[in-house]
A = this chain, B = another copy of it.
Amino acid sequence: MRRLTLAVVAAGTMTAALAAAPALAASGLDLVTHGKPGAMPACAGCHGLDGAGRAASGIPRIGGLDATFMRRQFENAMTGTRDNSVMVPIAKALTPTELTAVTDYYAQQNPPAVAEDVPADAVARGQRIAEHGAWSRGVPACTLCHGVAGMGIGTQFPRLNGQVARYIQAQLEAWQAGTRHGDPIGLMGGIAGRLSKPEIADVAAYFAALPKLPDLPAVAPAKPAQAVPAAGDIFTPPPDSAIPNNEFGDMVRLGLNIFEDPQRYAPQYVGNPLACRNCHLDAGRLANAAPMWAAYVKYPAYRAKNRHVNSFEERIQGCFRYSLNGKAPPFGDTTLLAVETYAYFLATGAPTRTEMKGGGYPKLSRPAQPMNFRRGEAVYAARCALCHGDDGQGQATKAGAPGFPPLWGDHSFNWGAGMADIRNAAGFVKANMPLSQGGSLSDQEAWDVAMFIDSHERPQDPRFAGSVEATRATYHDEDTSMYGRTVNGVALGSTPLQPGY
């Protein structure tokens, strides 16, 4: 009787699973399992039924990859954008319907995450680049686009976590050599070109090992094979490896953790998915991206923004209140102390009360032509939407972890944030956007796109003075803030003030 019940339940579950499977899945499974006799081998022969791939042969893990991403790779192979002699005849053998069926099938697989057996020292070296980048050479952290732990973001930035090392290595080398193209806005070609062959191998090892990261040895900061552009008189903060192993170091590390992941380490003060590092690149180290070492030595200072002398801690409060659209941690709170201590650590050796070269964002000269919404919209579509989304909403990982920050809308920084001032946004964009392509926009493009970004609604200014008009008059610059204006029929600044302010 008991056994019978279980069998019925099991049968029911199976039926439900079959019923829930999309109509095309059967056809996909058939193609994957049997191929097309005489025209195309079975996909599973190389990639496996679950798409796990084969590490030893360098055959990629495709199970669980985004279906759109996979179809784009077929297209690239067929157009020659991607040099792949193995896949081209297969792509040609599939009808569009069949191609969709196969890619949808593999997108729905979830092969076990297998950690490849790669040398721990290579993994440790690769981790530095993958998670921290090599910003001085224009290499952002891989995880900025490929998501936390390389889990992938959207249809353009595939999962790297658990990918086959030999495959990652071969692709980076192909981009470096110019035999693979089709990367959106040329991102991977540029980045791979700035990595050495050993660094490529290290990064590949890291992602391959990620599903079960080994105990990593201490590793010195990456020594690039290529010459690093001379930093000139730009200040160099100490490396993370210089954080001491004592109570002070614990506070520095807490600050770094808050800086990189405030949702986890200071959730009570954060009201959106942004992180400090979104505006302060390279975890607050990068010159011309508001580096924290330059900010630290600048305070206490008078700020026109609130018309009094601000301590560094009050300045940090502003970031939480405006940029993170949250609550200011109270004075004396460990959150403030930790971020301050992290900035203090980064400023080791920097001269007190000095205007540091590369501090803040570059101040661009006013644009030659008046800023223009339509021109900015075109720049946005061409260079920004890939990561920040067509409607500025940003992109999260599949698991919901913060990925690319929203630039407007309910989940972005609010109208009181520094980035809501077009001057700051234009300077930041010019110097740093798109990631790895800083300086590629003209000044005019930077102004136009910054104005376009600022021409969308976002959370209310917490300094709200009773009316949008009054708030604009008191806190917003005449021609570098769109707050209070009507753009494309939207009255900017009309969002209700967040409860609790």
Contacts and interface: CB of A to CB of B under 8 A. Distances in A.
Interface in A361-416: none
A247 B351 contact: no
Contacts of A246: 302
B349 A350 contact: no
A349 B344 contact: no
Contacts of A345: 353
A285 to B, nearest CB: 15
Contacts of A199: none
Nearest to A304: B247
A422 interface: no
12 contacts: A247-B302, A247-B307, A248-B300, A248-B302, A250-B309, A293-B352, A309-B341, A311-B341, A330-B331, A331-B332, A350-B351, A351-B352
Interface of A: 246-248, 250-251, 293, 296-297, 299-302, 307-309, 311, 313-314, 330-332, 337, 340-341, 344-345, 347-354
Given A247-B309, A308-B247, A331-B331, A300 B348 contact: no
Closest 10 CB pairs of A and B: A331-B331, A331-B332, A347-B352, A247-B302, A251-B309, A348-B353, A300-B341, A248-B302, A349-B351, A350-B352
A248 B308 CA distance: 8
Nearest to A297: B352
Contacts of A297: 352
Nearest to A308: B247
Contacts of A352: 293, 296-297, 344, 347-352
A333 B281 CA distance: 32
A337 B300 contact: yes
